[in-house]
Amino acid sequence: MKVYFVSDGTAITAEVFGSAMLSFFDVAVDTQSVPFLTTQDQAYGLKKQVDLEVENGVPPLLFYTIADIAIREIIQSCDCHCYNLFGDLLSPIEKALGVPAQPTAQKAHGMKEGVYDGRIDAINYALANDDGVSIKNFDQADIILLGVSRSGKTPTSLYLAMQYGIKAANYPITEDDFAAVGLPRVLKEHKKKLFGLTIDAQRLHEIRTGRMAASKYASPRQCRYEIEEVESLYRQERIPFLNSTKLSVEEISTKVMAEMQLVRHRQ
C-alpha cells in the first residue's frame, strides 16, 4: 500500500500523525514524504504521479497539511484516499478559542520569529557533557543521567536536547564507583538531578558484543555483575531509575521527563 505524506512545510506533522494512524493497522506500507509543496505546479506534478499509481492497482492513501486553498483542491482531486489532517478540527478549535485561524502556511516545525532556538545550546551541552567528559558544568544541567556503558545514556541525552531543549549531562558508572562507598562527590552535590538507567544483562551483552566481541567488557558475567551493582547503587542512594530494555528513545525520554517533572524549554 503506497502512502503519501504531503505538506507545504516539513511534512513532519503529516508523517507523525499519518504513521500513528497506520500503526493501528496490520498492513505493509510504502511511504513517501513530499515536503515543501508550495505551488500549484508542484501539486499538479504530484497529482500526475499519484493518479499513475492508481492505474497500477490499489489507490494510495494521502495525508496532507496544506494551508493554501487552491493547492488543497488540486491535492483533494487526486484519485486516491485523501485526508486533510487539519480539516476536521480547525473550525471546532476556532469556536473554542473564539478567534479565527490564520490562513498562512503552517510553520509548526519552522523557526519561531524572534525566539532563539535553545535546543542548539542544549545539543552542544549534551555533547560537551557526554559520558562524564566534563563534570564541571553539572550546575547547568537540568538532569544528569547515570548508567553503565551502553545502557542508553547518550541517545537519551541527545533526544531530550533535540526535542525539548533540556540540558542533559550523563555520567558513566564504572567498577571504580562500585568499589567506593556511596556516590562520587561530583554526583552527591547534584543528587536531585540524578536519574539512573538500567538494562537487562542479556541485552547489554548483545549490544557490547556488537561493539567489542569476545571481550571481558561484553561477557555475560561482566554485564550481569555491572547491572546488579548499578541497580543496588540506585536503590541504596534512592536514585529513581528505569529499565530501558524494551523502550524506544522516545519512551525513555518521555518517562524520564514525567518522573523528574522536567519542563520543556520549547513547545
Helix (H) or strand (E) holding 89: helix 87-97
In the bound state with its own copies, the residue whose beta carbon lies nearer, of 62 and 187, is 62
**Half-sphere exposure of residue 264: CA atoms within 13 angstroms, side-chain side:** 15
List b or e across 164-198, with b for residues whose CB sees 16 or more CB atoms inside 10 angstroms. Answer: bbbbbbbbbbeeebeeeeebeeebeebeebbbbbb
**Which CB atom, from 155 or from 182, has the smaller least distance to its own copies?**
155
For the CB of residue 139, give the shortest distance to its own copies in the complex, in Å. 19
Residue closer to its own copies by CB (options 27, 214) is 27
Cell triple for 131: 559520558
Residue 4 vs residues 16, 22, 50: alpha-carbon distances, Å: 12, 12, 9
Looking at the Cβ atoms of 184 and 254, the one nearer to its own copies is 254
**Least spacing, CB of residue 102 vs its own copies, in Å:** 6
The contact set with its own copies (CB under 8 A) reads 1, 9-13, 16-17, 19-27, 29, 31, 33, 35-36, 59, 61, 65, 81, 83, 85-86, 88-90, 92-94, 96-97, 99, 101-102, 106-111, 117, 119-120, 123-124, 127, 130, 154-155, 158-159, 162, 246-251, 254-255, 257-258, 267
Least distance from its own copies to the Cβ atom of residue 243, Å: 13
Give the nearest distance from C-beta 153 to its own copies in angstroms. Answer: 12
CA neighbor of 80 nearest in space, from 58, 63, 60? 60
Please enumerate, as own/partner, the contacts of 175-180 that have beta carbons within 8 Å and a separation of 24 or more.
175/226, 177/233, 178/226, 178/229, 178/230, 178/233
Q: Which is nearer to its own copies, 122 or 141 (CB)?
A: 122
Q: How far is the CB of 246 from its own copies (least distance, A)?
A: 6
